[in-house]
A = this chain, B = another copy of it.
Amino acid sequence: MRTRNPFPKKLDLTGRVELTHGTGGKVMAQLVEQLFAAAFDNRYLAQRNDQAVVEPPVGKLVMTTDGYVVSPIFFAGGNIGSLAVHGTINDIAMAGARPLYLSSAFILEEGFPLADLKRVVDAMAKAAMQAGVPIVTGDTKVVERGKGDGVFITTTGVGVIPVGVTAPSGDRAKPGDVVLVSGSMGDHGVAILSQREGLSFETTIESDSASLHTLVADMVTVCPDIHVLRDPTRGGLATTLNEIAWQSGVGFKLEERAIPVKPQVAAACELLGIDPLYVANEGKLLAIVAPHDADKVLAAMKAHPLGRDSARVGTVIEDENGFVQLETSFGGSRILDWLAGEQLPRIC
C-alpha cells in the first residue's frame, strides 16, 4: 500500500535538467518515477529501494562495468542509452556468460533537455527489453552547467556462466588456435567519427551497436571451451589482439584480406586517415578457439543474424615478443602495434 501520490504533477518533458533533479527531494523522486522507472519498469526496480534484491544464479558469477561518454549522444544506429546496454551485456557475454541483471547510473548536466533524456532512457529500456535483461537498480546525479556534457551513463552487469562452460579468458590463447571475427570491423567508430566531422557518404554508415549474448549462447552450445572471447571496442581489433598477446604470452598472424571491412567504412577510413583495424566495434566479437573447434564455431556464428559475415582471420603463433603480424593484401607483412596516441576520444 502506498499513501497519497507525492508527485501530483506530470513531469514536463519540454523542460530541462535542473540541479534539484539531483538533490534527493521530491523533484528528483518525480524524475525517477515518471521517467526512469516508467521506462525500465520491472519487478526488481519496483522494490524502490537503494538496491535490488534479485534471484541468485546457479553457476560462476560474472560482473562488469563501463562508463559511456560517447559524443555525439545520438548517432546513426543508436544513442548513448542503447550503447550502454549493448556494451555491458557484451562484456558479460564475453565471459561465455548469460547476462542476468543491469544497473544504470546517470550523471546529468544541468540544462540537458528532458526530452533528450527521455529518448536516451527509452532506448535503454528498449535495448534491455529486447535483450531480456532487466535494469534492476539505478542512480541519478546532476552537475552544474559546464561541469559535464549532457549525459554520461555507467552501466554495470551481472551474469552467470552456464554450468559446463569453461570461461573464456584473455590468457588462454594457445599457439595453433584459430582467430574468428563475427563480422565487419570499424563500423561503430567510423559512424561516430563521420557524424562528428560532418562527413556524409552515399550510404549512411551505421554503428553496429548490438547485444551479442544470444550469439555467444549459440557458440558455447557447440563449443563449451572457447579459449578467448573479446569484443574489440576502444582501440579496435589490433589493440584487442595486442592485449591478448600480452596476457597469453603468444603472437598472432592475421590475413588482411580475410578481415571483413565494409567498402564505405574502408573509404571513410582512408578519408579520415585512420586504420579500420584500430577503430571501435560495438556489435562484433572475436573468438579464439582450438583448431578442431574452428569449423563448428564458425558455422554457429554464421547461422546467427549477428554473425552472418563471420570469418576466420588468422592464427595464434608462438612469439615471445607478443607481436601481432598482418600479412597484407599485397603479400607483405607489417606489425600491428598497440594503439599509440589518441585516435578516437569519446567513441563509447
Count of chain A residues with a beta carbon within 8 Å of a chain B beta carbon: 105
Q: Within the assembled complex, what's the spacing in Å between the Cα atoms of A24 and B65? A: 15
Q: Would you call A339 and B26 a contact (CB within 8 A)?
A: yes
A126-153, CB under 8 A of B: which get 1 and which 0?
A: 0000000000111111111011110010
Query: A289-331 vs B: 1/0 string, CB under 8 Å?
Result: 0000000000000000000000000000001111000000000
Does A137 lie within 8 Å of B64, measured CB to CB?
yes
B1 touches A249 (CB 8 A): yes
- In the assembled complex, the Cα of A104 lies from the Cα of B64 at a distance in Å of 9
Nearest to A148 among chain B residues (CB) is B148
Q: Does A67 contact B (CB under 8 A)?
A: yes
B320 near A26: Cβ-Cβ < 8 Å: no
The interface residues of chain B lying within 8 Å CB-to-CB of A62 are 51-54
A2 proximal to B (CB < 8 A): yes
Identify which of residues 146-197 in chain A touch chain B, using a CB-to-CB cut-off of 8 Å: 146-149, 152, 154, 156-158, 160-161, 167, 169-171
Q: Taking A23-B344, A55-B60, A56-B59 as contacts, is the C-beta distance between A4 and B48 under 8 angstroms?
A: no
Is A210 interfacial (CB 8 A cutoff)?
A: no
Beta-carbon nearest neighbor of A245 in chain B: B3
Q: Are B61 and A158 in contact (CB under 8 A)?
A: yes
Of the residues B4, B140, B243, B250, contact of A322 by C-beta under 8 Å: B4
Give complex CA distance A246, B6 in Å: 8
Copies of this chain present:
2
> A112 in the interface, Cβ–Cβ < 8 Å?
no
A266 at the interface (CB under 8 A from B): no
List A23-57 residues whose CB lies under 8 Å from chain B.
23-29, 47-57
State A231–B26 Cα separation when bound (angstroms). Answer: 18
A103 to chain B, nearest CB (A): 4
Contacting pair B243 A29 (CB below 8 A) = yes
Q: Which of A29, A138, A147, A347 has the most CB of B within 10 A?
A: A147
Chain B residues with CB below 8 A from A347, complex form: 23
Measured CA separation A79–B235 after assembly (Å): 32
| Cross-chain contact of A249 among B3, B141, B245, B340 (Cβ < 8 A) | B3
Interface 1/0 per residue, A232-257 and B, CB below 8 Å: 01110001001101111110000000
Q: Please give me the residue from chain B that is nearest to A54 by CB atom.
A: B61
Decide: A49 near B169, CB < 8 A? Known: A143-B69, A143-B346: yes
Contacts of A136 in B (CB 8 A): 63
> Can you report 22 A-B residue pairs in the complex whose CB atoms are below 8 A from each other?
A6-B322, A20-B342, A22-B234, A22-B345, A23-B235, A24-B234, A24-B339, A25-B343, A48-B247, A50-B91, A51-B64, A51-B157, A53-B161, A54-B62, A63-B136, A63-B137, A63-B158, A65-B104, A69-B107, A141-B348, A144-B345, A146-B146
